[in-house]
Chains A and B, each alone.
Chain A
Amino acid sequence: MIYVENKDLVIPGQVLADDEYYSGRGTFKENGKVCSSLLGRVSLRNKKIRVIPLKSKYVPKKGDVVIGKINDVRFSMWDVDINSPYSGILPAFEVFGREKKELNKVYDVGDVLFLRVVDVDEIKKAKLGLKGRGMGKFKGGIIVDIAPTKVPRLIGKKGSMINMIKDKTNCKIVVGQNGLVWVKGDEDMEQLTREIIHLIEAEAHTSGLTNKIKNKLYLTIDGELPPEEVEETEEEFVLEKPTLQNFKEELEQEEREAEEKKEKETKPDIGEVIEEYKRKNKSKDGSFSLGDNSNNSFILNNK
């Protein structure tokens, strides 16, 4: 006997089903009844009941990709805030190997990085690493934070949702599994993307959301609806691992192209080029602006 339907809103302590059903995440069994332990929506598959929470904190898991902020620089490691009850550490050897360098010259307090959880020990401290495509420090852009449980919805089936937003807004977007999203593009587009991401977070449980978002994107950017209707794809609420996003390569290639172009355009004496290059790089380094955008929603909790 089951007392709820798929995608129903349930509250802690609510009885969901009788004994013949299996208790999945977000539920517990007591006296032969499956009960919810969270405020969330029911996800029913075969005879297994899960509750997908509306709000939750990120608990680090081995292999996850996350976005973190450097909190402290220590002798041989960085302390990283990963928007979780548990802090992360980035050991120096994950970055330089055996070489010895000064840590704060590489990443300083306040830098935001794209990282991989290498290991989680028994006290849930997350050891982080930079191995993988696109891992490293972000330059510029804004950070949007959403509930970690809504991350799979934002990415969509095989990245359908996120790729659509990327294409339409021309923004570079990186999603961390800890609920932080990095967005870089034109200022207007960054703001639009943020609105869209918050909309997805608020309506994650509704079906046909991809089409709704698509229409909104087309309306705002082009002023008209998309040309052809794509068939409705009912998307599942599955915890899919997001694929790695190679923003860094793109960034680097863009920079390289820009430089080449400049070199071709003007061929003055070499001194000027170097001067120009230096100036350019300087301004680029200083362009990281998390603080400027006071209304962006980068709230980290353990300060």
Chain B
Amino acid sequence: MMSDMIRDDGRKVNELRPIKIEAGVLERADGSAYLEVGGNKILVAVYGPRESYIRRLLEPNTGVIRCRYNMAPFSVDDRKRPGPDRRSSEISKITADALRPALMLENYPRSMIDIYIEVIEAEGGTRCAGITAASVALVDAGVPMKDIVVGCAAGKVNDEIVLDLSEKEDKEGQADVPIAMMPRTGEITLLQSDGDLTEEEFAKAIDLAMEGCLEVSKLQKEALMKKYSIEQ
């Protein structure tokens, strides 16, 4: 049961921000993607599978993925100090973990795939947007995978469960539940929860976020089809 409350930015409770996805935007990367969700602008580059130049990371029976999430200093209102920090290290790790179950890296043992996520402009929900864009870039790079992972968040604002929090809602809201999933099987590969939620609210938030994921997943597929079907 959805309430017909209208949010601060004029959206309904189960409405996503406008999304634009583009695949294969970078010339020199093996795969790349550009994504805009509301005020977020994210560019992802994928390199590999390539020879692992870091010996200790190399796995004899499978390939490895490495991920770097980075926010540009000008991406937020107050200048962000450049370089890795606690938050970006965490997001780098959870992004790699969210993508790994979908990848079939057994075909490329002793190799390495690098994913670089650059946030050019941030407006809430960058981790989900980063995962969504990264999986499009991985497909573009020709990495074999079981499914295209997609991320989306739900949260609680003014005692109401809403989809796809904006920056304002994230800051003023009571809870934030970002998830990532494989849309074909419905398996969840990332689940975080921040804030206070009752058990029912939590279940409702996950259901809503999964709905959002399926919606975004359609756009991912459209972007890939668009990029590669007209080239005739």
Inside 8 A of B109's CB, which chain A residues have their CB? Answer: 123-124
* CA gap between A203 and B231 in the complex, in Å: 8
Name the residue of chain A whose CB is nearest to the CB of B28: A299
CB distance from B24 to the nearest CB of A (A): 9
Inside 8 A of A299's CB, which chain B residues have their CB? Answer: 28
Q: Do A56 and B142 form a contact, CB below 8 Å, given A12-B147, A13-B147, A203-B232?
A: yes
B116 at the interface (CB under 8 A from A): no
A30 at the interface (CB under 8 A from B): yes
B48 at the interface (CB under 8 A from A): yes
A251 at the interface (CB under 8 A from B): no
A53 at the interface (CB under 8 A from B): yes
For window 39-81 of A, CB contacts with B under 8 Å fall at 39, 53-57, 59
* CA gap between A202 and B140 in the complex, in Å: 15
Name the residue of chain A whose CB is nearest to the CB of B217: A13
Name the residue of chain A whose CB is nearest to the CB of B110: A123
Mask, A84-116, CB within 8 Å of B = 1, is 011100000000000000000000000000000
Mask, A257-296, CB within 8 Å of B = 1, is 0000000000000000000000000000000000000000
* CA gap between A12 and B182 in the complex, in Å: 11
Q: Which of B92-100, B119-127, B153-161, B222-230 contacts A (4 or more CB under 8 A)?
A: B222-230
Majority DSSP secondary structure for residues of A touching B: loop
**Interchain pairs with CB closer than 8 A, number:** 85
Q: Are A13 and B144 in contact (CB under 8 A)?
A: no
B80 at the interface (CB under 8 A from A): no
Q: Are A86 and B139 in contact (CB under 8 A)?
A: no
Inside 8 A of A85's CB, which chain B residues have their CB? Answer: 48-51, 108, 110-111
CB distance from B150 to the nearest CB of A (A): 10
Inside 8 A of B185's CB, which chain A residues have their CB? Answer: 30
* CA gap between A12 and B148 in the complex, in Å: 6
Find A28's partner among B30, B31, B104, B183 (CB 8 Å cutoff). Answer: B104
Q: Do A202 and B225 form a contact, CB below 8 Å, given A13-B184, A35-B146, A53-B142?
A: no
CB distance from B59 to the nearest CB of A (A): 11
* CA gap between A299 and B26 in the complex, in Å: 15
CB distance from A43 to the nearest CB of B (A): 16
* CA gap between A37 and B47 in the complex, in Å: 18
Q: Are A302 and B182 in contact (CB under 8 A)?
A: no
Inside 8 A of A123's CB, which chain B residues have their CB? Answer: 60, 109-110
* CA gap between A288 and B181 in the complex, in Å: 52
Q: Are A86 and B147 in contact (CB under 8 A)?
A: no
Inside 8 A of A39's CB, which chain B residues have their CB? Answer: 139-140, 142, 224, 228
B214 at the interface (CB under 8 A from A): no
Find A86's partner among B48, B111, B140, B148 (CB 8 Å cutoff). Answer: B111
A15 at the interface (CB under 8 A from B): yes
Inside 8 A of B107's CB, which chain A residues have their CB? Answer: 59
Find A11's partner among B47, B48, B224 (CB 8 Å cutoff). Answer: B224
CB distance from A34 to the nearest CB of B (A): 13
Inside 8 A of A15's CB, which chain B residues have their CB? Answer: 184
Name the residue of chain A whose CB is nearest to the CB of B225: A9
A26 at the interface (CB under 8 A from B): yes
Name the residue of chain B whose CB is nearest to the CB of A33: B184
Q: Which of A26, A53, A54, A57 has the most CB of B within 10 A?
A: A57
A38 at the interface (CB under 8 A from B): yes
For window 22-59 of B, CB contacts with A under 8 Å fall at 28, 30-31, 47-51, 53
Find B146's partner among A9, A28, A206, A301 (CB 8 Å cutoff). Answer: A28
Name the residue of chain A whose CB is nearest to the CB of B63: A85
- With A38-B144, A202-B231 known, 10 other A-B pairs at CB within 8 A are A12-B144, A12-B145, A13-B182, A13-B183, A30-B146, A54-B228, A57-B30, A86-B51, A86-B110, A302-B51
A sample of 11 inter-chain contacts (CB < 8 A) reads A12-B102, A12-B147, A13-B102, A30-B146, A30-B185, A35-B184, A37-B144, A54-B142, A85-B108, A123-B110, A302-B51
